[in-house]
Amino acid sequence: MTIQPTAFILGAGFSALQQFPLVRGLRDRVLHFLEAEQHSSYRMFLEPNNGGLPEGQFKSGLNLVDASGKLEFEELLVELAKRIKTAGPSDPYPITARVLRIGCSRLLWCIHGFIWQPETCYRNFAEHLRNSPGSVVISFNWDLLLERTLTDAGIPWSYNLSPSGVSIIKPHGSINWSGHLRKGLTADYAGWEPLGSGSKLCFDASNPLANPNMQDINSDLRYMIFPGDPELPKEDADISWLWEKARAALLGVDSAAFIGYSLPDYDTFASDFFESELAGKRIEAFTPSDDHLKRFETLFGGRAILKNEKFEHCAYARA
C-alpha cells in the first residue's frame, strides 16, 4: 500500500528498543563505558595525577562542573562548553569534554557491533519507507540503526536528497561522518565521499556501516554536533548545507511524524525551523512523555495529533 509522502523526524526514542541510550541516562552509560573500556585514546586522562591533578584531568573537570552528579549528558556538555570559553591553559574542561565525546561515539559503535538483526519494528518501518515514495527522514540521532535496517532490506538510501531511495538528513552529524575537508586535510583513504555537492562533510560510500576510525586516532575529525556546540546555519557553511537540505525535503511532503523526539528546550533553532517549515502540514508526534507532547501542542496547536506511545507501539512500527 502506497502512503502519502511524509517527513519522519527521529529522536533518541526511535532507537531505544535496540538498546541505544536515551538522553536521560546517557551520562551514566558513557561514564560506565569509559571505565570499563579504558581505550588508549583516552585512558591517560582517567589516570590519577594526570595533568598534575589527583583525580586526573577527566574526573577533575567532571567534578568541577557537576560535583553532585545530577546533570544529564546534554546539560553537562552545555556547561562544559561555557567553561571552555574562559578556560585557562591548565583547566581540565576541554579534556573532560573530549573524553565524553570519544566515549559516546565508541559506546554507539559498540552497540552497533552487537546488533545481529534489527528488531521487527524497525524492519516494518523500513517497509513503510519503501511504500512511501517521496518520504524523507530527518534524524537527530548519531547512530546508524536506520541506515543498517534499510541496507538489510535492500532499500537504497542517501545522506542527500535523492529521487530514488530514502533521503536521510542528519543535522547533528553521524558517527560515520568525517569533517577532515573542513580543516583542509587530505585523507590517505580514497573511499571518502562528500555527502553531496557543496558539502565538506564526508562518509565512506563504499562501506558506510563500518567504523572509519576504529582506533580513534583522529577522533576530533569525526563530525558529530554535541550539545553546547555552535549549530546555527549562519555560523557554519556545512550546518547551513544540512538545514537547507532539511528545508528542501519538507517542501515535498504532506505531513510530518515526530518519533521519539522531545523538541528539547535548548534547541530553539530546531523548534523555530519546524514551526515555520511545517506550517499547514499534518503533524503527528509519538513519544511516551506527556511533557514532550505538551511541547508539540504548544508549538503546533490543535492540528498536532499527539500519541503517548513508544516507537515500537506506533502505527509506523507495525506491518
Please write the tens of the pLDDT for every residue from 150-191.
999 999 999 999 888 999 999 999 999 999 999 999 888 888
Q: Averaged over 15-39, what is the pLDDT?
A: 95
b/e sequence 12-34, b meaning 16+ C-beta within 10 Å? bbbbbbbebbbbeebbebbbebb
The sign one gets for the Cα dihedral 54, 57, 61, 66 is negative
d(CA 102, CA 226): 11
Asked if 260 contacts 11 with a C-beta cutoff of 8 angstroms, the reply is yes
- pTM value is 0.95
> What is the per-residue pLDDT across 113-123, written as a single tens digit (0 to 9) for each?
999 999 999 99
Q: Averaged over 297-318, what is the pLDDT?
A: 95
Domains present along the chain, CATH in parentheses: 6-19+118-172+225-317 (3.40.50.1220), 26-113 (no CATH)
243 grid coordinates: 538545514
253 grid coordinates: 511532503
Write down the pLDDT at residue 252: 87
